[in-house]
Amino acid sequence: MPVPTPIDDPARLLTIGEVARESGLTASALRFYDREGVLVPADVDALTGYRRYAVVQVRAARLLASLRRVGMPLAEVGLVLDEDAQGAVGAAADVVRAHEQRLVDGLADARREIVRTLALLAGRDITGAEVCRVAVRATDLAAALASVRFAVAPGEPLAGAPDGVDLRVLTGVLLEVCGAEVRCVATDRYRLAVGWALVVGPPAAVPDGPVGAVVPATWADRVAEACAVVDPDSEVVLEVRPGQVGAVIGGERAATAALPGSFPDYRSIVVTEAGPGVVDARGLQETLPVEQESVGLVVRDGSVRLAATDGGAADGPADVVVDPEFLHEALSVAGPRPTLELYGPRRPLAIRGDGAGFSVLMPVAPEGLRR
């Protein structure tokens, strides 16, 4: 048979020790809550001062113990106990939910302070490292990040390839302060995208050339989202140093450690200014057969069109063969008036537009020449 407990008999009065065992509160805590008027015993012996509690007060003691463990102020604990004693469980729950929301908000504030603290500690560790702080407009930075996001290598960060090349940097975005502009660069080795945001105010003084670091794509996404919800003309302060990048947006600071490894030298294949061979690419995106592995482009008389399916066209063979899905993504971020620039059948194809950057697409072998 189960052993009866003191609370099985609702008519009994319980000692302070019994209530302590049933609720998890100590006797000294129960005496304190009595003095504070939060949980007053049902009876106190006038001669001995012994406290006696009604069985129904065990529920109140358990609630009290639980609420104090989550840091609820005594005044609110008393309110919860009073509402519960009157059967107003919904009103009592509202008080608890309000306290929970304060805890959630406080945790968010604490996390932001921890981020700031860790950023300061990380800065102390980088002894002698050059730190470059510049300001850009929120809308410009968001546009620059959006214009290169498609070229980030997909998947989880890779520790390295069989040939020993570290590929983790390809899963991030290079942020680089280059004098009067901040550049965003991404590549998966088949395409490369460059975006930029002009520095607000005097050009940044960067000793011995640009200062840059590769940030995780997830951090870049969070920064772009934060830029989208503040005033477009508000300033974002970027702090770029070897190994670390920080951004202050709307008074909130977000910092991240840089991805390890060396980012490819994009300058060797990028021409930032458009050359004479620019052609209008409006309407090309809608005609691309993205289900195919490759598509030929014919560049003639200032325009570009698809080559015939056999790789040729009425006025000659394709000038370049590319991956249609990759070209479609590049055109989608180039704005309403995209242009193409071709330097030769085996040279990268440049895609430019009205946006905050441009991209470069490597040509591929025609399907008929693949093995």
pLDDT in tens, 133-155: 889 999 999 999 999 999 998 75
Q: What is the mean pLDDT of residues 222-236?
A: 91
Rg (C-alpha) for the chain, rounded Å, is 33
Identity of the highest mean pLDDT range in 50-54, 318-322, 346-350: 50-54
Task: Count the neighbouring beta carbons within 10 Å of the beta carbon of residue 319.
Answer: 19
Q: Is the pLDDT of residue 314 over 90?
A: no
More confident residue, 162 or 263: 263
The whole-angstrom separation of Cα 336 and Cα 304 is 16
pLDDT band per the 50, 70, 90 thresholds, residue 318: confident
Asked if 179 and 203 count as a contact pair (C-beta separation under 8 A), the reply is: yes
Q: What is the mean pLDDT of residues 245-258?
A: 89
CATH 3.40.50.1950 fits 6-100, yes or no: no
Identity of the highest mean pLDDT range in 81-90, 326-335, 361-370: 81-90
- Are 6-100 and 127-268 the same fold in CATH? no
The whole-angstrom separation of Cα 184 and Cα 219 is 13
Identity of the highest mean pLDDT range in 90-99, 163-172, 231-240, 312-321: 90-99
The whole-angstrom separation of Cα 319 and Cα 342 is 8
- Type of residue numbered 75: A
Q: What is the mean pLDDT of residues 332-340?
A: 85
Q: Is the pLDDT of residue 64 over 80?
A: yes
pLDDT band per the 50, 70, 90 thresholds, residue 208: low
H/E/C letters for each residue in the chain?
CCCCCHHHCCCCEEEHHHHHHHHCCCHHHHHHHHHCCCCCCCEECCCCCCEEEECCHHHHHHHHHHHHHCCCCHHHHHHHHHHHHCCCHHHHHHHHHHHHHHHHHHHHHHHHHHHHHHHHHHHHHCCCCCCEEEEEEHHHHHHHHHHHHHHCCCCCCCCCCCCCCCCHHHHEEEEEEECCEEEEEEECCCEEEEEEEEECCCCCCCCCCCEEEEEEHHHHHHHHHHHHCCCCCCEEEEEEECCEEEEEECCEEEEEECCCCCCCCHHHCCCCCCCCCEEECCCHHHHCCCCCCCEEEEEECCEEEECCCCCEECCEECCEEECHHHHHHHHHCCCCCCEEEECCCCCCEEEECCCCEEEEECCCCCHHHCC
Burial of 160-193, coded b for 16+ CB within 10 Å and e otherwise, reads eeeeeeebbbbbbbbbbbbeebbbbbbbbeebbb
CATH 3.30.70.1350 fits 127-268, yes or no: no
Asked if 240 and 132 count as a contact pair (C-beta separation under 8 A), the reply is: yes
End-to-end CA, the chain: 81
> Chain-wide mean pLDDT for the chain?
81
Domain ranges of the chain: 6-100, 127-268, 278-369
The whole-angstrom separation of Cα 123 and Cα 115 is 12
Fold topology of 278-369? DNA Polymerase III; Chain A, domain 2 (3.10.150)
Least Cα distance to 134 among 232, 210, 225, 216 occurs for 210
The pLDDT score that the predictor gives to residue 124 is: 46
